[in-house]
Structure 1
Amino acid sequence: MFFELLTTTAHIASVIPNPTPEQPPGTEGFTTILNWIAWAVIMLGVAGFLASAGFLAFAAFTGREIQGFKGLVICLVVCVLAVAAGSIINVFV
């Protein structure tokens, strides 16, 4: 019984097609906008990182280093997610 179910499942899996994604014609402008948005997110992440580093240096004198450190961590996470967004989406699609 189990072997028959396993064989049937393997046969069904071999029949299911595996399509490759293809960009529809006329959507080149949309991908350009997505590239610009990705560039802007990365630049904002770098600017935020530099601002947080400056705040961390200033906060060392006032004893609020943890807030500067949180800003640095948030900027690093944003930059990593922005760069890896395509790979992350490919895992779920």
Structure 2
Amino acid sequence: MSALLLAVQDAGTVLAQVGNPTPEAPPGSEKILQLVRYLTWFVLLAGIVAIIYAGGKFAWERWTGGGLESPKMVAGAMIGGVVATSAGTIMNAVIGT
């Protein structure tokens, strides 16, 4: 039993000596990062178009006296935009770097 405790203690000492490595991009990752930047731009553009469309629909609903569904569309587009633009911050918080 004492041999097992000694092995566990030695493993803990070894693990405690391992440093905290800093993340580093792999070679050739610039193309992937460029694609991510393009996709981010597209998501932002889509969010802006969605808010403009929902605003126009809201005006039309108010003009014709129809049911008001567009405020939900505006809220959804704004929440989606917040999540999309803060994806990096969210991942850093989850991963804990």
Smaller-chain TM-score range? 0.7 to 0.9
* 1:14 positional shift: 5.7
Stretches of structure 1 that go unaligned for 5 or more consecutive residues are: 1-7
2:61 paired with 1:59: yes
Query: TM-score scaled by structure 2?
Result: 0.76
* 1:18 positional shift: 1.6
Residue in structure 2 matched with residue 83 of structure 1 by the alignment: 85
Query: TM-score scaled by structure 1?
Result: 0.79
Runs of 4+ in 1 over 6 A off after TM superposition: none
- RMSD of aligned alpha carbons: 1.9
Larger Rg computed on CA atoms: 2
* 1:15 positional shift: 3.7
Report the Cα distance in structure 1 between the residues aligned to 2:84 and 2:74, rounded to whole angstroms: 15
Other structure's SS at 1:38 match: helix
Identity of aligned residues (%): 27
Count of residues paired in the alignment = 83
Aligned AA for 1:47?
A: V
Residue in structure 2 matched with residue 36 of structure 1 by the alignment: 38
* 1:64 positional shift: 1.4
Q: Which has the higher helix share?
A: 1
2:48 paired with 1:49: no
Stretches of structure 2 that go unaligned for 5 or more consecutive residues are: 1-8
